[in-house]
A = this chain, B = another copy of it.
């Protein structure tokens, strides 16, 4: 309680700071337990106990068990939109999406050790893969709009939604193959070739 060591980062009241701290404590406890013993073998009540809060409080901060793991998906979404908006001159929209997808694939050796363990956790837990994909797809509308802007097509052209949706699905389609890089490339070949005839009508 007597915690006066202010680091003065943002203009936050005490209340907001405490709230953020509670949230962080919960997320940290959850991630630690999940990494130690696996997602399915850790219960909500255990997490709440470890973070020293009640389950009620936990659910006021997170919408569900899966949400405990993905605390920062909004950033990923924004990065994807930026990748399209700020693509090199002359590069097509699907080409930019391809590049971005390739760049953000399951990371290679030489990342922070925590990151590897995190991805291992996600990739080995069906419930987490599903949740991640579902939230990833929420970017469809925003991405479709960016695509429309960048292509000069009407904002509500269903072709933009289609490209957005397919681009977001591509990683999941590639997941079935041993060589995920080639699979991803083939999927984007399809989209890139198909998009040419659509974009040329604009």
Contact = CB atoms under 8 A, between A and B. Distances in A.
Interface of A: 140-141, 156-159, 161-163, 165-166, 169-170, 172-174, 176-177, 179, 182-183, 186-187, 189-198
Contacts of A196: 193
A182 B162 CA distance: 11
B193 A166 contact: no
Contacts of A197: 189, 193
A193 B187 contact: no
Contact of A162 (B162, B163, B186, B198): B186
Contacts of A177: 156, 158, 161
A190 B201 CA distance: 13
B162 A190 contact: yes
Nearest to A195: B190
